Amino acid sequence: MAFIIRAQNVSFCYSEGESKSPPVLKDINLQFEKGEFIGIIGHNGSGKSTLAKHFNALLLPTKGNVYVKDMDTKDAKHLWDIRQTAGLVFQNPDNQIVAAIVEEDVAFGPENLGIPPEEIRKRVEYALKAVGMWEYKDFPPHMLSGGQKQRVAIAGIIAMKPECIVLDEPTAMLDPIGRREVISTIKKLNKEEGITVILITHFMEEVVDADRVIVMDDGKVVLDGTPKEVFKEVEVLKKIGLDVPQVTELAHQLRKEGIDIPSDILTIEEMVEFICR
Ligand SMILES: Nc1ncnc2c1ncn2[C@@H]1O[C@H](COP(=O)(O)OP(=O)(O)OP(=O)(O)O)[C@@H](O)[C@H]1O
Ligand SMILES: [Mg+2]
């Protein structure tokens, strides 16, 4: 089995020694397969961003190990290979865009990797087309909407040809249109380009058709399964302060009232189909 990322008994504290802080990751074990679309959800402060930063060696485990394609993130000689394999996209596109023109911004990463100019041009074109922003290549980023800026930031990562992208709440600062643009771009990169996607989000709808959903609470993985397996655990999710998709909640309430309805309904279509039967 080809795992792109593995976390083995990972614990993490922000500070050690005298002023030791309590662990924010507690014995995490996870394996991600190449090509998977994984959603990570969890309450504020549950450790999602801290975990994400372990996936490209921005943080190193206090205990345990993280492997990116069998490269131990603690092994300094692999740092650039790791960063190139797993790219990180953050919440605020304004903090990720560095150049005055879209095209130059996307070229920035590959330039830093020392890639020859001809190859950079090809990659910039490929990346901007992949996120549907090629026609904006000559625009200054400040002229773009939030969703468009975030797609440019994603193109900047794609131009490094990563096998995996980790997105930490990439839609949190966007309006509904921007959110839709970004999510459909991410899905397309996964389906058409085969890029492994790890998507951290507070929006449950963004992960209902992921291959797998991981739920974190207090530095631990509390649920890990298909969206259907995870979202039918309505009581567990509520206890740790998470919502479930509205239709799942409705199905849950109907079951409580004694109506024989499947507990793993996730979409309006499934609900309609069940009710009309
Ligand atoms: N740089 C830091 N130094 C010390 N503690 C930190 C640091 N960053 C985060 N923490 C703490 O680590 C814990 C986990 O934080 P983290 O940001 O990983 O959670 P999160 O699940 O991403 O939350 P959110 O949904 O708000 O983004 C929290 O208790 C937080 O206060
Ligand atoms: Mg976070």
Residue 14 Cα to ligand 1 midpoint, Å, equals: 9
What is the rounded CA–CA span in Å between residue 59 and residue 55? 8
**Ligand 1 closest atom vs CA 53:** 18
The angle that helices 176-193 and 117-130 make with each other, rounded to 10 degrees, is 120
CB 186 less than 6 A from any atom of ligand 1: no
Question: pTM for the full model?
Answer: 0.94
Residue 24 Cα to ligand 1 midpoint, Å, equals: 7
Residue 254 Cα to ligand 2 midpoint, Å, equals: 34
What's the topology of domain 38-61+71-227?
Answer: Rossmann fold (3.40.50)
CA 272 to centroid of chain Cα atoms? 30
The pick from 20, 24, 88 for probing ligand 1's pocket by mutation, whose C-beta has the most ligand atoms within 8 angstroms, reads 24
CB 14 less than 6 A from any atom of ligand 1: yes
Residue 233 Cα to ligand 2 midpoint, Å, equals: 23
Proximal ligand: closest to the CA of 215:
1
What is the rounded CA–CA span in Å between residue 137 and residue 47? 36
Domain coordinates in residue numbering, the chain: 38-61+71-227
What is the rounded CA–CA span in Å between residue 43 and residue 3? 27
Residues contacting residue 250 through CB under 8 Å, at least 6 positions apart: 271
Proximal ligand: closest to the CA of 53:
1
What are the per-10-residue average pLDDT scores of the chain (277 residues)?
92 85 95 97 97 97 97 96 94 91 96 92 95 96 95 95 96 90 94 96 93 98 96 93 89 90 88 87
Q: Using an 8 Å Cβ cutoff, are 223 and 198 in contact?
A: no
Nearest to 48 by CA among 213, 236, 201, 203: 201
The pick from 13, 16, 48 for probing ligand 1's pocket by mutation, whose C-beta has the most ligand atoms within 8 angstroms, reads 48
pLDDT score at 142: 94
Residue 42 Cα to ligand 2 midpoint, Å, equals: 9
Distance from the first to the final alpha carbon of the chain: 41
For residue 86, the number of C-alpha atoms closer than 13 Å in the C-beta half-sphere is: 30
Q: Using an 8 Å Cβ cutoff, are 218 and 22 in contact?
A: no
pLDDT score at 23: 94
Alpha-carbon distances, residue 86 vs 1, 81, 192, 212 (angstroms): 18, 9, 18, 18
pLDDT score at 113: 85
For residue 146, the number of C-alpha atoms closer than 13 Å in the C-beta half-sphere is: 14
Instruction: Render pLDDT for 80-116 as a digit per residue (tens, 0 to 9).
Output: 999 999 999 999 989 899 999 999 999 999 998 889 9
Q: Using an 8 Å Cβ cutoff, are 89 and 170 in contact?
A: yes
Instruction: Give me the residues paired with residue 89 across strands.
Output: 167
Proximal ligand: closest to the CA of 21:
1
Backbone angles phi, psi at 230, to 5 degrees: -75, -45
pLDDT score at 16: 78
pLDDT score at 2: 78
What is the rounded CA–CA span in Å between residue 224 and residue 209? 14
What is the rounded CA–CA span in Å between residue 266 and residue 29? 27
Residue 219 Cα to ligand 1 midpoint, Å, equals: 10
Q: Using an 8 Å Cβ cutoff, are 55 and 88 in contact?
A: yes
CB 50 less than 6 A from any atom of ligand 1: yes
pLDDT score at 1: 62
